[in-house]
């Protein structure tokens, strides 16, 4: 039986989402093959080993995973994970890690780097793929170089708001390139945290200030009258894409409340009611976007389909998509014939496959 660390929580604004995703993964895990070890990352960044005696209660309960103070867990170069108990460090025996961490300090390559130097196999993209998937500006630059269709964008930094002259130049540029309304969001965040729809020039600065409170860069994109389509991609060197789904939101846009808080915030239609040719286009572009960002393991690729032209436009790539009971990624996989328990098993197999391949590389002369 393999010992699996489920790493959840985190410092990001998506902490609570991670608690729900972690709970779903735990409850769909094949306990005959994997022995779960819960390590929760508190909002202050400390890693807490959860008491194994709580596992039966946690498995039986509904709702998010608990995250209680516990013995501190540390990652150590080449020594794996260590448990600190007073002044004593002991090894936390585990075979692989499933980081269920959404957003900053979890989905952006930082935790992946810790696990790499600790020598542990883990689910999902490696350091580079995680960082590229998280950074909406850099991922779009790569997609454009690969000839893939993207939503137009402008990256904004704090210096663009620092003086009256800089601000006026930025506002004129946005007005000339996009018109109104526009969408503003942090460049490196997820779950629509810090995002807003801006109806006109008077709303632009507050929206940018909110986005820049969450990240050092903000993205400004034009409003596209579009259908919101998502596609699940799974694999390492030879990934596959599942039939796409559609999000039909009752909110002004698919914001955090619609995703996680409002039970009637969105209708998830899987498979999406789009033509066969469009569906194949979405799937092929999703795989190309996945490869361009050096992703592996899994990703949810988000698209717009322009209602006027039918054009398929890339929006974002999420290397650790939501795994809650209402999340699109596991639902799309299930609709494509891969149920939730089998999906978890496949992701763990892909993690071990990649780790074994990297172990065969030479790192010294």
Same-domain status, 201 and 228 = no
Tokens 């919101």, residue located: 228
CATH number, domain containing residue 72: 3.40.50.20
- Return the pLDDT at 254: 55
Q: Are 97 and 106 in contact (CB under 8 A)?
A: no
Q: Are 23 and 36 in contact (CB under 8 A)?
A: no
DSSP 260: I
Q: Enumerate the β-bridge partners of residue 306.
A: 226
If asked whether residues 116 and 139 sit together in one domain, one would say no
Question: 330 lies in which domain range?
Answer: 133-150+224-358
Q: Note the Cα 219 to chain centre separation in Å.
A: 17
DSSP state of 264: T
Residues 190, 134: Cα–Cα separation, whole Å: 8
54 and 19 together in one domain: yes
**Residue found by looking up tokens 């020598």 in the block:** 119
Q: What secondary structure letter does DSSP report for 271? A: S
β-partners of residue 222 are 182
| 74 shares a domain with 101 | yes
- Residue 162 and residue 183 in one domain: yes
Same domain, 256 and 348: yes
- CB–CB of 106/18 below 8 Å? yes
Do 75 and 172 share a domain, yes or no? no
Looking up residue 169, the CATH number of its domain turns out to be: 3.30.1490.20
Residue 282 sits in a domain of what CATH number?
3.30.470.20
Same domain, 283 and 325: yes
* Same domain as 251, residue 145: yes
* Domain presence at residue 363: no
What is the reported pLDDT for 268? Answer: 87
Query: Each residue's pLDDT tens digit in the chain (365 positions)?
Result: 999 999 999 998 889 999 999 999 999 999 999 999 999 999 999 999 999 998 998 898 888 999 999 999 999 897 899 999 888 999 999 999 999 999 889 999 999 999 999 999 999 999 999 999 999 999 999 999 999 999 999 999 999 999 999 999 999 999 999 999 999 999 987 656 788 999 999 999 999 999 999 899 999 999 999 999 999 999 999 999 999 999 987 655 555 555 555 556 668 899 999 999 999 999 999 999 999 999 999 999 999 999 999 999 999 999 999 998 788 999 999 999 999 999 999 999 999 999 999 989 988 88
pLDDT of residue 229: 97
Residue 60 lies inside a defined structural domain of this protein: yes
Q: Which residue reads 């780790």 in tokens? A: 355
Instruction: Please check whether residue 128 lies inside any domain of the structure.
Output: no
Count of the separate structural domains present in the chain: 3
User: Residue 7 corresponds to which tokens in the numbers above?
Assistant: 């790493």
Enumerate the H helices of the chain as residue ranges: 15-28, 55-60, 110-118, 127-134, 136-145, 164-177, 204-212, 256, 276-292, 328-335, 340-359
- The predicted structure's pLDDT at residue 264: 62
Residues 118 and 23 in one domain: yes
Q: Are residues 139 and 272 in the same domain?
A: yes
Residues 72 and 188 placed together within one structural domain of the fold = no
């Amino acid at each position: 039986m393999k010992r699996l660390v489920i790493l959840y929580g985190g410092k990001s604004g998506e902490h609570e989402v991670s608690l729900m995703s972690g709970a779903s993964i735990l409850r769909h895990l094949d306990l005959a093959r994997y022995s779960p070890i819960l390590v929760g990352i508190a909002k202050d960044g400390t890693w807490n080993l959860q008491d194994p005696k709580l596992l039966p209660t946690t498995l039986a309960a509904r709702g998010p995973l608990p995250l209680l103070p516990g013995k501190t867990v540390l990652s150590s170069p080449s020594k794996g994970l260590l448990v600190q108990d007073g002044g004593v460090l002991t090894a936390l025996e585990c075979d692989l890690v499933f980081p269920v961490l959404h957003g900053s300090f979890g989905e952006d390559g930082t935790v992946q780097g810790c696990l790499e130097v600790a020598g542990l196999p883990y689910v999902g993209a490696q350091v580079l793929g995680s960082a590229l998937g998280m950074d909406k500006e850099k991922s779009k630059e790569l997609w454009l170089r690969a000839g893939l269709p993207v939503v137009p964008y402008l990256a904004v930094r704090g210096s663009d708001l620092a003086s009256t002259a800089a601000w006026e130049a930025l506002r004129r540029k946005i007005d000339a390139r996009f018109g109104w309304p526009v969408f503003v969001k942090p460049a490196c965040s997820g779950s629509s945290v810090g995002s807003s729809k801006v109806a006109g020039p008077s709303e632009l600065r507050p929206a940018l200030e909110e986005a820049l409170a969450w990240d050092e860069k903000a993205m400004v994109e034009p409003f596209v009258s579009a259908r919101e389509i998502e596609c699940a991609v799974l694999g390492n060197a030879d990934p596959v894409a599942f039939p796409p789904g559609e999000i039909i939101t009752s909110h002004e846009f698919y914001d955090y409340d619609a995703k996680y808080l409002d039970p009637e915030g969105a209708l998830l239609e899987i498979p999406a009611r789009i033509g066969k040719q469009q569906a194949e286009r979405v799937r092929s572009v999703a795989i190309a976007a996945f490869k361009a960002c050096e992703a592996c393991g899994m990703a949810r690729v988000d698209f717009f389909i322009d209602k006027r032209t039918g054009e398929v436009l890339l929006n974002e790539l999420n290397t650790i998509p939501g795994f809650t009971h209402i999340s699109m990624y596991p639902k799309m996989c299930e609709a494509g014939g891969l149920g939730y328990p089998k999906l978890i098993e496949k992701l763990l197999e892909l993690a071990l496959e990649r780790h074994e391949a990297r172990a065969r590389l030479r790192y010294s002369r």
